[in-house]
Structure 1
Amino acid sequence: MVHRLIEWSLRNRFIVLSLSIGIFIWGIFSIKNNPIDAIPDLSENQVIVFTEWMGRSPQLVEDQITYPLVTNLQGLPKVNYVRATSMFGMSFIYVVFEDNVDVYWARERVSERLSTITSSLPQDVTPQLGPDGTGVGHILWYTLDAPDLDLGEQRAIQDWYVKFALQNVPGVSEIASFGGFQKQYQVTVDPNKLLYYKLSVPDVITAVRANNNESGGRKYEVSDIGYIIKTNGYLESIEDIQKIPVGNQNGVPIYVSDVGTVQMTGEARLGIFDQDGEGERVGGIVVMRYGENAAQVIDDVKAKMIEVSKGLPENVKFDIVYDRGELIKESISSIRNTLIEEMIIVSLIVIIFLFHWRSALSIIIQIPITVAASFILLNAFGVSSNIMSLTGIALAIGVIVDNGIIMSENSYKHLSDRYHEWELSQKSKSE
């Protein structure tokens, strides 16, 4: 079989040359389209289910949320195993699927199952799917350099302007905010006053929720002009909350201000983000989606930051504290230079070893064609250009030329023997 293949290649050199050129051109396009990253993504094929139930102990979260979810999610198809963690006010469930399962198919199966088991969970508890990213999806960290704004104002800018803008970048799964204060209205009730007015905390909660609402009316026409009736009941200030009636005593309304105090403050925090020991900062983490080109996503996010900066308040700018793009460029540049150096060194060794330029050329030309063809396979199997894959290609250069050297030496030996036999035959004929 091998002899016939070699014979066919020798008789159809133009076809073989055309196929080689076609594979090389295809490989060049594959190099340009291959995703680039610094490290390979070896994380498991998993879907994260996050459930929040604030104020509850880990044991209660385990019994009421984690256990029911885990027992129901274990029956999903193509699931390897399910891991779970319960903590104060939060539950994390990791559904690990088989490696060959499409991640979005897996997320759809988990979402379908969650829709059927939500009714068995406590009231007002809604499980949520985590971002469609991997364990190495954190590609960029940034903070807001805003010396003239307090932490609450910075967090508001991050949550209501910057975050929404950067989430629209292709390839971005999530913008996770950190630092600062999340502004909220807090109602601090006085137990003695509640006892005096014969009210309870649920009465206050129900009154506030019922009054922070807007409802529609109907449409009516006057003189051929249509008017729409609606009620505007959204709370907009501390005074609006203070004037909410909770109950009445002898026909006199009892307001929230009569049983407690209302103030604007920040949500309780479990930690802070300090940068370079110079004080707290507010920022975000850019999480990349599965299978995206990390280098391209980082460049797109940076370009979007320039656009977003035009709408920021005066003296507010982005400060990038972690950028995997720099690591990607340095890693790929180092491996690329090593690859080029190896190709040059191997080519020189082949020329010196064979000392026959036509034989050496037939071997050296295999190196760029094989390297380009390897990127076709990388794209076919969804492998990115990273330190591991490029290092493997660099290490294989020596193996690429081995077969060529052996075949050239073997061919040269047989041709020499045939030539020697031909010389002897010619000599015998002349005699």
Structure 2
Amino acid sequence: AEERSASGLDMAFDAKTQAICSFLQAQAAARPDLATEYTLFEDLFTRKLWHQLTVGLEAFVVREGVDDQLIPLYETFIMDFKQKLNKLVLARLLVPVARQMTSQPAELISFCEAAIEECQKEDKQAGCYVVCELARMLLDMDRVEECKAKLEVAAQFVEGTAGIDNTVQASYCRAQAAYFKVSGPASDFYKYALLLLAYQPLAQMPAAEAATISFDLGIAALVGEGLYNFGELLEHPVVSTLESSEYVWLAELLRAFNAGDIDKYESLVNEHHKKLEEQPALLANTNFLKEKITLMCLSETLFKRIGPNGNRTISFADIAEASKLPLDNVELLVMRALSLKMIRGTMDQIDQTLRVTWVQPRVLQKEQVALMTERLGSWCETVNSTLHFLENETPEFSS
């Protein structure tokens, strides 16, 4: 009787409330390391402080070492007051519970489908959150086609709705990235992984997930088709995460590719060949990587020449020297760059020159911005010189 009085219980509580409080007390006794949390839950529950209770539960369900607590906590405790909860919050509580059912796929799917139906009645984005998380769970069970079907359902909602909560957007992008990591292409993984980091920065992720996604993004940038500008990635904390890990070589590779530095690339390959050979994606794309660094070298070479005061015509011999290709292969390289829409221009096969009218826009590094500043300064001087010449030669127009 003294113990019950100390816990804040009295005979005014109905049998159901007393049973729930007894459950929380038993859980606290069985797990002394979680006793503080269970005691707090009991106090907030009996005082009907639902918001504070919700905040505590959200922190609890993602805590390490509580997996075996979640199903009984849901069935005995949360189910009693779940109708009082915001549906998106409820969805975030239900998903960790569902993850404890992976040994029984049918039960897991049934639980999630019921959760989706319940949440969608009041908040469609809460239902979408559970759909995305279910898609990832299906992927973990190697049920790729079922995962794809769920993502198609989620995509209809996400892409057609404005003002979606960041947690839902992050869940959607995380699920899409996980799917494309398994099924490809790498460029789609790259797209959704970068979007994920816009909604949930690396600093808000567990350290293991942050390290994994940083590494995967680096690999995807290298092997992804159509990805010829790493400027955005290089300005992202992803690179600093790689540089502070065992994958510093990957950060160096990304910088070499972005600069189109073939000498640096070859040096890194020779220095880290064992680590590179341990990565199946890189090993399977050796020829593609060589082509990619050569194309990026061409793009960087042209970027340095084109501009307000730059020479837009470059000889095949200069391209061959920069790209370390035989002169006979330069035409094929230029045609490849034109077909990928990395550049626009015309080739003169007789004079063996390329006149460039446009280079694909890029996210510039500081050195490239400095070059553009210098170019614009030179252009301003040329314009002013021309203006002064015209004023001197045609005084009648300036009077």
Same fold (TM over 0.5): no
Higher relative contact order (CA 8 A, sep 6+): 1
How does the TM-score come out when normalised to structure 1? 0.24
Q: Between Structure 1 and Structure 2, whose CA radius of gyration is higher? A: 1
How does the TM-score come out when normalised to structure 2? 0.25
Between Structure 1 and Structure 2, the one with more helix by share is 2
